[in-house]
Amino acid sequence: MSTLALDTADFGNVLQPASPKGKFRLPGVALIQTTHGLQRVMLLTGIVIVAIFLIVAICAPWLAPYGFAQIFQPQQAMSTTHPLGTTVGGFDVLSRIIYGARTAVEVILLAVALSIVVGVPLGVISGYLAGWLDRVLVLVMDALYAFPSLLMAIVVSIMINQGRSGGFTGILSAAVAITVIFVPQYFRVTRNATMAAKVEPYVDAARVAGAKSPRIMFGHILPNVSQSIPVLMTLNAAESILTLAGLGFLGFGIEPNSAAEWGYDLNKARSDIANGIWWTAVFPGAAIVLIVVGVTLIGESLNDVLNPLLRTRGGTTTADEQELVEVVETSEEASQTNEETSQEEDES
Amino acid sequence: MAQAVSSRMALARYLLLRFVLIIPTVFILVTVVFFFMRIIGDPITASLGGRLPPDEIWARKEAAGYNDPILVQYGRYLWGILHGDFGRTTDNQAVSTILINYGPATAELVFWGLIVALAVGIPLGRLAARKYNKGADIAIRSFAVLFYAAPVFFVALLLKLVFSIWLGWLPVSGRASPRIQTLLESGVQTNTHVYILNALQYGEWWVIQDVLLHAILPGLALGLLTAGVFIRLIRINLLQTMRADYVTAARARGVPEKKVVSKHAFRNALIPVVTVMGMEIALMLGGAILTETTFEWQGLGYWLSQYLLKRDFVAVQGITTAIAVLIAVASFLIDAINALVDPRVRY
């Protein structure tokens, strides 16, 4: 619901503050400037966490003490040679975590890119042409959206490689599996934005000037509806990490020798837990939690700043809620006096 | 009078329309799952390929009808589902039997999870709204984000580590101790497959206690995942309703603040929770797959992951389809409840 409700917000002003074409201002700076107080803290925390993960992902070969597929004596405790110990399969936990960041980033980028490439054009076409095509697409997308994402990811991963995966195909299949979950969301957002945009005068003008439908859709409407996508992207990035880990945990992700993946490591750590070996589970899990928190913080802040319609639905401080503070605070003061008076009444 | 009749008509029409909408939803999901799973190959080659000679596999495929054109197979599959036949697994078990035997276990887990989610989510959401932007609010919201961000199986593993392994308070896995499990499966008059109901039938406290103890950790893991959503929802809705005119009016009349929150604002803030619960069911079923796998809670999710590892895709397809039906029906029920409670929904 929360993501589908993004609908038809006008993000233009904040993302690209009225600058002429070609002169692109770094979107982050303008964004941070529009935040304040707790919200800015949340946004900055999120950005810092994500930045650290990106650096770790890029520099993995230099940061990791060993390779992700290198095998040592299994189930070693934490020591100077293996700072976070080794797994039941003999992998070095720290190295797996560091390389896992790389896998996660690869899958997220691929999944988000694929979902945009498929979902956004479909949404524009569906919203612009309307009619029966639109109805069928909406019905299909709604059905897909209602389905548990993990199950859909499993089905797709079976389709792509019968559940067996190595190297790049593993990453690709995880990304495609996640894509199928996200396409309905991008579809919904762009479709609704297109429905609103197609009655704008500039579309009529283009039509009068003799532009054909494809040109109107992708030349005129698409640039105007694409501003709603960044928010969805960050929200989806968080979900795709969780889906990837879920697939891995069920043994349906990426083979351990072709890439490090946190969900797979957690699956293998199940037997360790029973023996009281906690480091093989706690550290990869903490890595997942940290990156998802980071991405979620960015997503929520973006959501609040860029989408005034959602302000009352999100969970963070907004100008709208600032008003509420006053209401609530004054009412609390009032309530205290009220309670006092009611107590007095009770006593008398 | 006339108004009441037309309102009832509107309700009936809404419910009927909503009910009819189940059909295309289920149809689309069944179709998508069927074609996705059959594009590459057939389930027999997938599970036995390489282990049996090719002509043996061909014979088995022929017997199971996998050599027919895909559309014929699709028609047969749809026809079967209409009759409650979801196919047979490679070890020749009817998928529908699996659904009947283990579906209730999943329902039980989701029920415990829902109880935890409501018990944690509603009071905390309410507290966060009342302490708006104070320490408690910020702490509760951080808690909500944290539990949203933590994969359910990681939370489950941590709970298991702390409460079962380190402290030794709670059982490590399963739905009941082995001895009690046989008692529950065969020692009761009507086997509902829902252990708590069976235990209540049996009527001995130590049996009920065993079932409850086994349910605590899985219920917590699944419930905390959902609680985060409820906290945010209640908090934001309560904040919104606190602004409503009728709340201000109540305050102006001098109604004590506690009463304003509990009687005037809180109840109305609960309405959207019912709506969202419909959508949370999909999330909870997804979470249940992972929770069951972690705790070896033998429900649909646990068996789904087992069949996945065995590459038995008929079973996977059957369970997946059944879950699709379940979700469509559940979301219809939730919408119906919503329409009964809130007249605005009907139009």
* Residues A139 and B28 sit within 8 Å (Cβ to Cβ): yes
Mean pLDDT of chain B: 80
Per the listing, tokens 């003799």 go with: A210
Cβ contacts below 8 Å, chain A against chain B, sum to: 189
Q: Which residue of B has its CA nearest to A144?
A: B29
pLDDT mean over A242-253: 83
How far, in Å, CA of B224 to CA of B150, rounded?
10
Q: Categorize the per-residue pLDDT at A309 as very low, low, confident or very high, splitting at 50, 70 and 90.
A: very low
Query: For residue A24, what are its two tokens?
Result: 């692109």
Q: Of B205, B206, B185, which Cα lies nearest the Cα of B194? A: B185
pTM of the model: 0.79
* Residues A162 and B40 sit within 8 Å (Cβ to Cβ): yes
pLDDT mean over B43-62: 72
The rounded radius of gyration (Å) of the Cα atoms in chain A is: 24
Query: For residue A165, what are its two tokens?
Result: 């995966």
Beta carbons of B240 and A312 less than 8 Å apart: yes
Beta carbons of B154 and A281 less than 8 Å apart: yes
* Residues B196 and B215 sit within 8 Å (Cβ to Cβ): yes
On chain A, the residues whose CB falls within 8 A of the CB of B46 are: 162
* Residues B112 and B219 sit within 8 Å (Cβ to Cβ): yes
Q: Categorize the per-residue pLDDT at A320 as very low, low, confident or very high, splitting at 50, 70 and 90.
A: very low
Task: Decide which of A44 and B182 is more confident.
Answer: A44
- Which residues on neighbouring strands pair with residue B52, listed in sequence order? B49
- The yes-or-no verdict on residue A221 having pLDDT over 80 is yes
Q: How far is CA A210 from CA A206, A215, B97, in A?
A: 7, 10, 62
Mutation to test the B interface, candidates A331, A341, A344, most B Cβ within 10 Å: A331
Per the listing, tokens 């605590």 go with: B216
Considering only CB atoms, B286 lies closest to which of A151, A249, A293, namely A151
Q: Report the percent of chain B where pLDDT is more than 90.
A: 0
- The yes-or-no verdict on residue A344 having pLDDT over 70 is no
* Residues B57 and B292 sit within 8 Å (Cβ to Cβ): no
Read off the pLDDT of residues A46-68 as tens digits, 9 standing for 90 and up: 889 989 989 888 887 887 777 77
pLDDT mean over B84-88: 78
Considering only CB atoms, A146 lies closest to which of B161, B235, B327, namely B327
| Count of positions (residues) in chain A | 348
pLDDT reported for residue A161: 67
**DSSP-derived secondary structure letter, A26:** P
Beta carbons of B150 and A289 less than 8 Å apart: yes
What are phi and psi for residue B123, nearest 5 degrees?
A: -65, -40
- The yes-or-no verdict on residue B180 having pLDDT over 80 is no
Residue A181 identity (one-letter amino acid) = I
Q: Categorize the per-residue pLDDT at B288 as very low, low, confident or very high, splitting at 50, 70 and 90.
A: confident
pLDDT mean over A267-277: 79
Read off the pLDDT of residues B237-271 as tens digits, 9 standing for 90 and up: 888 777 778 888 888 888 887 787 777 777 777 77
Q: Categorize the per-residue pLDDT at A5 as very low, low, confident or very high, splitting at 50, 70 and 90.
A: very low
* Residues B24 and B17 sit within 8 Å (Cβ to Cβ): no
pLDDT reported for residue A28: 61
Read off the pLDDT of residues A193-216 as tens digits, 9 standing for 90 and up: 888 888 888 888 888 888 888 888
| Lowest mean per-residue pLDDT among A116-130, B115-129, B226-240 | B226-240
On chain B, the residues whose CB falls within 8 A of the CB of A266 are: 151, 153-154, 157
- The yes-or-no verdict on residue A237 having pLDDT over 70 is yes
Beta carbons of B323 and A252 less than 8 Å apart: no
The Cβ-side half-sphere exposure at B236, using a 13 Å CA radius, reads 21
How far, in Å, CA of A195 to CA of A211, rounded?
18
Q: Of B304, B116, B311, which Cα lies nearest the Cα of B224? A: B116
Q: How far is CA B141 from CA A276, A304, A314, B233, in A?
A: 31, 15, 11, 11
- The yes-or-no verdict on residue B347 having pLDDT over 60 is no
Beta carbons of B154 and A321 less than 8 Å apart: no
- The yes-or-no verdict on residue A225 having pLDDT over 50 is yes
Provide the ipTM: 0.81
Domains of chain A: 29-312 (1.10.3720.10)
Q: Where are the alpha helices (DSSP H) in chain A?
A: 12-15, 27-34, 37-58, 60-63, 93-129, 131-146, 149-161, 167-197, 201-208, 213-215, 222-225, 229-249, 262-274, 279-306, 319-347
**Three-state SS for A336?**
helix
Q: Of B128, B130, B270, which Cα lies nearest the Cα of A328? A: B130
Task: Decide which of B48 and A188 is more confident.
Answer: A188
Neighbours of A164 (CB within 10 A): 15
pLDDT reported for residue B3: 58
pLDDT reported for residue A308: 52
Cβ-count burial A253-263 (b if 16+ within 10 Å, e if not): bbebebbbbbb
Read off the pLDDT of residues A92-134 as tens digits, 9 standing for 90 and up: 878 888 888 888 888 888 888 888 889 888 988 888 888 888 8
* Residues A186 and A280 sit within 8 Å (Cβ to Cβ): no
- The yes-or-no verdict on residue B121 having pLDDT over 60 is yes
Read off the pLDDT of residues A152-184 as tens digits, 9 standing for 90 and up: 888 887 777 665 555 667 777 778 888 888 888
* Residues B111 and B221 sit within 8 Å (Cβ to Cβ): no
Q: Categorize the per-residue pLDDT at A311 as very low, low, confident or very high, splitting at 50, 70 and 90.
A: very low
How far, in Å, CA of B194 to CA of A259, rounded?
41
Task: Decide which of A231 and A347 is more confident.
Answer: A231
How far, in Å, CA of B320 to CA of B288, rounded?
13
Mean pLDDT of chain A: 74
* Residues A87 and A77 sit within 8 Å (Cβ to Cβ): no
Nearest-CA distance from A65 to chain B in Å? 25
How far, in Å, CA of A67 to CA of A58, rounded?
15
Beta carbons of B286 and A38 less than 8 Å apart: no
* Residues B210 and B177 sit within 8 Å (Cβ to Cβ): yes
Which bin fits B303, alpha (ψ -120 to 50), beta or left (φ > 0)?
Answer: alpha
On chain A, the residues whose CB falls within 8 A of the CB of B33 are: 155
How far, in Å, CA of B59 to CA of B347, rounded?
57
pLDDT reported for residue B312: 79
* Residues A246 and B225 sit within 8 Å (Cβ to Cβ): no
Q: Report the percent of chain A where pLDDT is more than 90.
A: 1
Q: Report the percent of chain B where pLDDT is more than 70.
A: 93
Beta carbons of A150 and B290 less than 8 Å apart: yes
* Residues A262 and A75 sit within 8 Å (Cβ to Cβ): no
Question: Is A323 buried (19+), middle (13-18) or exposed (0-12) by CB count in 10 A?
Answer: exposed
- The yes-or-no verdict on residue B105 having pLDDT over 50 is yes
Which residues are CB-neighbours of A64 under 8 A, at least 6 positions away? A92, A94, A95, A98, A99
On chain A, the residues whose CB falls within 8 A of the CB of B278 are: none
Per the listing, tokens 């720290």 go with: A94
What is the CA B29 to chain-centroid distance, rounded?
17
How far, in Å, CA of A158 to CA of B209, rounded?
41
Mutation to test the B interface, candidates A39, A42, A150, most B Cβ within 10 Å: A150
How far, in Å, CA of B29 to CA of A198, rounded?
31
Beta carbons of B25 and A140 less than 8 Å apart: no
- Which residues on neighbouring strands pair with residue A86, listed in sequence order? A92
- Which residues on neighbouring strands pair with residue B94, listed in sequence order? B88
pLDDT reported for residue B30: 85
Nearest-CA distance from A307 to chain B in Å? 16
